[in-house]
Chain A
Amino acid sequence: MKWLFLSLCALCLIACKPNAHQDEIRFAIAQAPLNLDPRYATDAASERVNRLIYQPLVDFDSASNPAPILVFWQVVSDTEYRFTLNKNLAPFHNQTPLTAQDVKATYDSLLALKDSPHAAEFANIKAIEVEGKNEIIFSLKQADKHFPAKLIIGILPKDLIQQGHDFSHNPVGNGALKFVSWQNKLTLQRTKDDQIISFQEVKDPTVRVLKLLRGEADLIQGDLPPELVKYLQSKPEINVKTSIGANFSYLGLNMQDPLLNNLKVRQAIAHAIDRQAIIDKVMVKKSRIAGAILPPEHYAGNSNLEPYAYNPVLARALLNEAGIKLPLKLVYKTSTDAQRVRFATILQAQMQPAGIDLEIRSLDWGTFFEDVKQGNFQLFGLTWVGIKTPEIYAKAFGSQSFPPIGFNRGRYADAELDKLLINEEWPAATTRIHQQLPYIPLWYEGQFAAMQKNVSHYSPKPDGNWDDLATITKNINK
């Protein structure tokens, strides 16, 4: 027995020091990127990393207007755009210069890919031509005044595209960070000062917090229940920063359901939810009540939307007016994510005084999302992440956008709204959506990042991006 005990102790005593890579900045993330080829990436983690590795032609300013990054552009006609590359662009990480040929090759290859989820966005491109070293002309099949806002795909080197290079796992761009390796963890290096930054997937939120406390991680961001955020805020060795969020959480409603097709029922549900209480009690600071998919600071947002007040008496009255026999039984579908299930139970409790009996069905992500796309639901809860362009209104509520060719999963059809969307009358359109309630708007969840005290120059951003990894610093002497 003694030797057994001793051997177990020995196992423990061959301990390692947590700060084996003192100068490396270690970022513990909830979900690892899946694919670092910008022509394929769709998950949030891949897109956030790709913003650091590659540079697109266009990005967005603080009001989400398209802003030039690599180019400035000129509208030649309704169907033709001329882009001119800026001078002194950073070369690709393999040291070849970025030219107009690379831009053309990137978008040509994207259009040729049969299995790219982004190809459909560019189906309107008729031809891409290069003039000289720096000029690219995009000809479109149909007029699209939002076309520049679509050019957010990172530019790849032409020669590597032609060689069939595997950008998915060996990316080469011209962004602030270059690829180093991807074995268990993803390692990138900042081009300006050679700072190493690694990303390690740690799914469990408690474990992410333990890694931060133990010093095995320097930074974590988002995806923590608020009690863990509060716990971290109480730790003197940890610095927690928060910011407002722009990702829109909502309840989706099935408009083909005979109960939910009734506006009074939808209004009753909206009045049966105490958003402010949820924000105050179980969400991180700087979360705010939402009105429309795009936040008020967006150029197509609407700051005049009055939130539906929590009023269970009014909700009950609305249900009675709609001729509903109480309690109204509804099924709410959500994923198995702990925070989502927690929200579901709170909604269930809040709706009870309004006469709504909410049954919660928590499903694995694949099944849940498939049900949502198929319209196999009454209510569901989801969040729109990283949405920048007002096209989302047409895709989410337009009568021509029912799945599988759009995101109108609730199958909402409203001719009046369609007209407003076509004419791009955003205030009127968002007001109409707010009145008709094909979605019940919930909140924009606040963003936060927790980091070691010796980490600086990093702040969370409203859409949760990791852009500040281009500037983050770690003082190893502290």
Chain B
Amino acid sequence: MVSRFLSLVTVVFGVLLLTFLLIHLVPGDPVEVMLGESASTADREALRADLGLNQPLISQFGNYLGKLAHGDFGNSIHSKQPIIELIKTRYPATLKLAFLALLIGLSIGIPLGIYAALKANHWQDFVVTIVSVRFSAMPAFWLGPMLMLVFAVWLGWLPVSGMESRTSIILPAIALGFGLSAILTRMTRTSLLEVLNEDFIRTARAKGLSEKTVIIRHALRAALLPIITIVGLQMGSLLAGTVITETIFSWDGIGRLLVESIEKRDYPVTQACVLVVALSYVLVNLFTDVLYKFADPRMRFN
């Protein structure tokens, strides 16, 4: 477990270093972003010195790490807001959306996958397969406006976008969750079909266990590993922010903040967002490993 954590720290440090170097390699100068195109060379140099941007890269990286250690991400170049405040506002919004999308994905995907596996090669299986393939092929920039048109404009049940109402989260969560459920349906079906032909399932049935017990307690548990892998990967992506969905639904999440900061060359915000996203991936991976252990006690962390 200790070595697992050490490797995680190494990954985070690598991400920090890589982001720092990449940001200094891409064209664009934070001083120019701040002062615009009218400032004199002397003013630019004065501000560059003030921000420590005239120091060697290694010193700048050291300063950056030092500030990070004190929880100081710096201020946004454009809004002048402390970045930690931006992250505190944006990340919980992404977390809420990701968890609800995951819940919807799991609630639809796993039962439908089980159903399709039990009805394998029947018409019900074909219907589920066609629907799930359709959903996984629907891009968010299409599905989002369609959901808005039907549920907000035509039926008037839900708000079009924004974060004002408690129900505002439903449409973006469905837009994300449907895609996820389609993938989970396919994965659950495939994984379960493999397990259902195993000897231990035949034994369970021979012992006279009910079909429900056989499926839920024996087959599904054995089929969980690939499902956990997919859920872990998808959750990592969701926590990294789903830029298109967040943009379409005016959902102020971390993904939108990251992309906007890149567009506006707001480098400190970009660095902080990438760090948060990387940490999310790392933690989700760690959690996925823990879940493996629960799903299959034979597995070890190392």
Interface residues of A (CB under 8 A from B): 1, 4, 7-8, 11-16, 18, 20, 34-35, 37, 40, 42-43, 114-117, 119-121, 123, 166, 168-169, 184-185, 200-204, 206-207, 210-211, 213-214, 216, 364-367, 370-371, 373-374, 395, 403-407
Contacts and interface: CB of A to CB of B under 8 A. Distances in A.
Contact of A20 (B28, B38, B165): B165
A202 B80 contact: no
A120 B166 contact: no
A34 B43 CA distance: 23
A8 B44 CA distance: 57
Contacts of A214: 152-153, 156, 159-160
A13 B157 CA distance: 7
Interface of B: 26-28, 32, 34-41, 43-44, 46-47, 50, 78-81, 104, 107-108, 111, 115, 145, 148-149, 151-153, 156-167, 170, 247-250, 252, 262-265
Contact of A120 (B28, B43, B247): B43
Contacts of A115: 34-35, 47, 50
A16 B159 contact: yes
A71 B26 CA distance: 46
Question: Which of A115, A120, A211 has the most chain B CB atoms inside 10 A of its CB?
Answer: A115
Contact of A12 (B26, B170, B247): B170
B262 A364 contact: yes
A11 B170 contact: yes
A366 B37 contact: no
11 contacts: A4-B108, A8-B108, A12-B151, A12-B158, A15-B158, A18-B156, A119-B39, A214-B152, A214-B153, A374-B27, A395-B38
What are the 8 closest A-B residue pairs judged by CB atoms, nearest first?
Answer: A117-B36, A15-B157, A120-B38, A16-B165, A34-B78, A120-B39, A370-B27, A168-B80
Contacts of A14: 166-167
Contacts of A43: 78
A364 B27 CA distance: 13
Contacts of B151: 12
Contacts of A11: 170
A203 B247 contact: yes
Contacts of B161: 202, 207, 210-211, 216
Nearest to A204: B248
Given A12-B157, A214-B160, 5 more contacts: A42-B36, A184-B252, A210-B145, A370-B28, A406-B37
Nearest to A116: B35
Given A16-B165, A16-B167, A207-B145, A407 B152 contact: no
Given A12-B157, A403-B37, A114 B145 contact: no
